[in-house]
Structure 1
Amino acid sequence: MKADARTAAIGCLALALIVVAGCGASAPRPVPPTATATAVPSPSGTEPSPAPEGTFWRAGTDIATLASGLTSPWSVVPLAGGGALISQRDDGVVLELTRTGDLRTVGAVPGVVSGGESGLHGLAVLDTGEDPLLYAYFGSVDDNRVVRMPLLGDPGSFRLGDAEVVLDGIPRASTHDGGRLAFGPDGYLYVTTGDAQQRDAAQDREALGGKILRLTPDGDAAPGNPWGTRVWSMGHRNVQGIAWTADGTMWASEFGQNTWDELNRIEPGANYGWPVVEGVAGRDGYTDPVAQWPTSEASPSGLASVGDTLFLAGLRGERLWQVDTADGEAAADPVAALTTQFGRLRDVVARPDETLWLLTSNTDGRGDPGPSDDLLLRVPLVTAP
């Protein structure tokens, strides 16, 4: 879609959508029924048959609570065989949701210093054939960094081994810290960083701030990176979500400043414009977003894909955006779901049993946490009409 046509289409969408004002949580949201028996379904044997090509997905309504009482949760990572790990930003704790639905503490990541939006952020797990390795992104005294720790013991009784620094020196601030981790289809570790209030860093190819990085599991620059460094793409303000659709396309959700939040198709070596441009600009040298929203309707954090449908978790927007894609473009206007039903949404991950797991973010230190604290929700998926 050409830039001027896409701008017009997105502008029409923005006028039609309801603007939700304010960043903080409002009145306590209802807690859906707690899942019973084995609350955490195992992926073993539940892999669905491939959906027909061109199938798109929508959030269903039979939503269940897998965990409650969370405080400032930031990232959820499902584990092979069932269960999940959850990071809590402000206290630096990693929790385990066991296969039977119990919630227990795995341990605190050493060196986490929280404040503002900084603290313990993204998690990723690498299966080594022995003890799995847990990667964590967090703010320390001086910087943001990535460490890895062996997950010792067995599922249901995991504990953290000694931490080893994978990458340090990422700029840290009270806001714009990025922090999402994911192993891509190519087996390399992708790390999102914010500009950490150093706006010009996003346009400095040698700086780590305002970038998406692509690393080997040991933290070195991955082979094939566009400039031979750790940098994969640049010109980002604050990316907190990355995902790959079924066709192999990489996507990222990005916080704008005052005007436009973005969904970007990520290409190696591309420049996404911040702080020179925000949203669709049509300027040579900068890559325009595939979709954009007013900041009051998104403030997107986690991003997940099922087939060729993307799901963006909105914080200020308090909704789950659903974007169907084809050939690296939006196939239709984005569709909102769960609007204000559960408040601020921090992370979303796709499961092999055609469900999403969704973290809320209503106890993020910005006010009274409310009686229900934060939740991990299980959201069924249905095919789009």
Structure 2
Amino acid sequence: MRSGLAAGAVVLAVVLAGCSPAGTPQATPTSSSAGQSAAVSDVVDGLDVPWGLAFLPDGDAVVTLRDDPALVLVGPDGSTSDVTGPGADDLLDVVVPGGEGGLLGVAVLGAEGSTVDLALYATAADDNRVLRGTLDGSVLGELRPVLTGIEKAGNHNGGRLAVGPDGYLYVATGDAGDPSSAQDPDGLNGKILRITAEGDPAPGNPDEGSPVWSLGHRNVQGLGWAPDGRMFASEFGQSTWDELNVIEPGGNYGWPEVEGMGDGFVEPVAVWATTDASPSGLAVTDDAVYLAGLRGERLWRVPLTEDGVGTPEALLDGEHGRLRAVEPAPDGSLWVVTGNTDGRGAVRPGDDRILRLVVD
């Protein structure tokens, strides 16, 4: 990692571009002025293929580096420190980066005193798996697998982890290049899984004894909850429609039978042409859902309404390249992780970076 501090950088004015469906529910949003503004500044730069981000109780963020594979702590002031210890050594031994695989998602399972219990999503030699370890300061203890056997591939590994309001761990998996796996109720791929911190199926899952919370997904990489309890997920489409879904327990979201809207399956609440989004990370605030777009190179803001969602609006349109992740920060801002060093982006000076975004 190349360390770099850019706190206090010149704040750039950004205009949100609104969009509205044209004609049919599947129509891609088109841009128009929304009249809202935001401010963006650098928190840190010089990160090598950052992927996941989670905030710790002390306000620092732990960031995963997909290809190294390693963890980095980033302070609100942009200071950085490498995570060391037995767990850091385990990552080097266990994780086998390749294609879209590597060290991916991270979530905070709990904290006690100075120690924080972490969950990590990692691509190993034979599978994707969820690992658990304890972080004390910048030292990570030995890691142990709590969920294994998620099929791996060069593409569609999923990888996002999030702890829900119910305290259970949600795991987003991809179809690993086998679309039919998404409809297999006994498989782990193409699913959102709900498990305990020990890796067992969580109580209250649709099928007792199964970790599957929802199925029929192509490649989910964003998870979050609205204040009213609605669970949102972002999903990569194949060639036509990217999706924002509200996740229902036991819901079937249609892949590979349908992409976008389709009879007989739970339909998305918003869709985009794949050139406009390719959404990875997702964040939910009190008033909106934010989706980080890779191919689309923009951050989509989808307002929350009492009965659904409003018209999506484009933010940071093309200004920072590919966007990999977005998370609400403790100070009320959003931290946005760029994704230009992953082999598919145009690398800019200082890439990759974490941006601090404040929406008016």
TM-score (norm 1): 0.82
- 2:105 pairs with one of 122, 130, 146: 122
1:254 aligns with 2:254: no
CA 1:319 to 1:81, structure 2 compared with 1: closer, same or farther past 3 Å?
same
* TM-score (structure 2 length as normaliser): 0.88
Among 131, 134, 156, the residue aligned to 1:147: 131
**One of 128, 133, 142 as aligned partner of 1:162:** 142
**Contact conserved, 2:324 with 2:338, CA < 8 A, in 1?**
yes
Q: How many residues align?
A: 331
Task: Give the whole-Å Cα distance in 1 for the aligned partners of 2:307 and 2:279.
Answer: 19
- Would you say the 8 A contact 1:265–1:328 is kept in 2? no
Q: Helix, strand or coil for the counterpart of 1:297? A: coil
Partner of 1:42: none
**Residue 203 of structure 2: aligned partner:** 223
Q: Whole-Å Cα distance in 2 between the matches of residues 340 and 271 of structure 1?
A: 33
C-alpha deviation, 1:134, in angstroms: 1.4
Q: How does 1:292-303 map to 2 (within 5 A)?
A: 292-303=271-282
Displacement of 1:368 in angstroms is: 6.5
Partner residue in 2 for 1:73: 50
- Work out whether residues 86 and 95 of structure 1, in 8 Å CA contact, stay in contact via their aligned partners in 2: yes
Q: CA deviation at 1:342?
A: 0.5
Q: Do the aligned partners of 2:31 and 2:313 also contact (CA within 8 Å) in 1?
A: no
Matched, 1:313 2:292: yes
Query: Quick one: which amino acid aligns to residue 135 of structure 2?
Result: L
Give the one of 301, 304, 307 matched to 2:283.
304
Is 2:120–2:131's contact at 8 Å kept on the other side of the alignment?
yes
**Structure 2 counterpart of 1:143, which letter?**
D
Unaligned runs of 5+ in 1: 1-5, 19-56
Shift of 1:206: 0.4
Look up the SS of the partner of 1:123 in the other structure.
Answer: strand
Q: Which amino acid aligns with 2:337?
A: L
Separation in 2 of the partners of 1:338 and 1:128? 34
Q: Which residue of 2 aligns with 1:21?
A: none
- Report deviation, 1:10: 4.3
CA RMSD of aligned residues (A): 2.0
SS of equivalent residue, structure 2 residue 353: strand
- 8 A contact 1:7–1:280 mirrored in 2: no
1:200 aligns with 2:180: yes
Matched with 1:354 is 332
1:90 maps to 67
**How far does residue 372 in structure 1 lie from its aligned partner after superposition?**
1.8
Q: What's the CA shift string for 1:254-295, capped at 9, x where partnerless?
A: 0000000000000000000000000012x12x1110000000
Q: Which blocks of at least 5 consecutive residues in structure 2 are unaligned?
A: 1-20
Structure 2: distance between partners of 1:240 and 1:196: 13
State how far apart, in whole Å, the 1-side matches of 2:352 and 2:323 are. Answer: 10
Q: Does 1:271 align with 2:252?
A: yes
Classify the secondary structure of the residue corresponding to 1:197.
Answer: coil
State, as a whole percentage, how many aligned pairs show the same letter.
49
Is the Cα contact below 8 Å between 2:101 and 2:155 reproduced in 1? yes
**Residues 1:112 and 2:98 aligned together:** no
**Residue 136 (structure 2) pairs with residue 132 (structure 1):** no
Partner secondary structure for residue 245 of structure 2: strand
The amino acid that maps onto 2:43 is: L
Higher-RCO chain (CA-CA 8 Å, sequence separation at least 6): 1
1:366 CA drift (Å):
3.4
**Whole-angstrom distance in 1 between the partners of 2:335 and 2:347:** 21
Partner amino acid, structure 1, of 2:274: T
The structure that is strand-richer by fraction is 2
Q: Deviations over 1:325-361 (max 9, x none)?
A: 224622x210111100111000000124221000000
